[in-house]
């Protein structure tokens, strides 16, 4: 395809320029061979944020669901974050049946 900017000020005074797109034949397409090694160079390798956090957790001997006590608390927090508004989550956590049974133990450092 070819894009052209046309000056139509002579024939259409209200429009000074417009763009037209024309089809071109396949013989007019442009392609260039390249060496894949020249396209990109690795500057450095490093851990992802998750890998670094996981390694840090392992060094400290923390459980996989830290800062939550266990998988059940993690699943509850995940549900509240994904499916419920902040106001509704706050309301839920203040309900006597939730706060009276067992408080969520979350440590935020």
State the Cα–Cα distance between residues 78 and 44, nearest whole angstrom: 34
Handedness of CA 76, 80, 83, 84 (dihedral sign): positive
8-state DSSP, 39: T
What pLDDT does residue 65 have? 85
User: What's the pLDDT tens digit per position in 10-59?
Assistant: 555 555 555 566 666 666 667 777 777 777 777 889 999 999 988 999 99
What pLDDT does residue 23 have? 63
Q: Does pLDDT of 109 surpass 70?
A: no
The neighbour count for residue 68, using CB atoms within 10 Å, is 19
Rounded to an integer, the average pLDDT of 82-104 is 81
Return the residue matching tokens 């408080």: 103
């Amino acid at each position: 395809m070819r894009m052209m900017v046309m000056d139509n000020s002579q024939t259409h005074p209200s429009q000074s320029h417009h763009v037209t797109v024309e089809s071109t034949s396949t013989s007019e397409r442009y392609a260039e061979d390249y060496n894949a090694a020249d396209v990109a160079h690795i500057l450095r390798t490093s851990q992802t944020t998750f890998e670094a956090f996981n390694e840090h957790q392992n060094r400290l001997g923390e459980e996989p669901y830290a800062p939550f006590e266990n998988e059940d608390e993690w699943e509850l927090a995940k549900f509240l974050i994904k499916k419920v508004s902040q106001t509704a989550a706050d309301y839920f956590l203040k309900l006597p049946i939730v706060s009276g049974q067992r408080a969520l133990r979350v440590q935020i450092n």
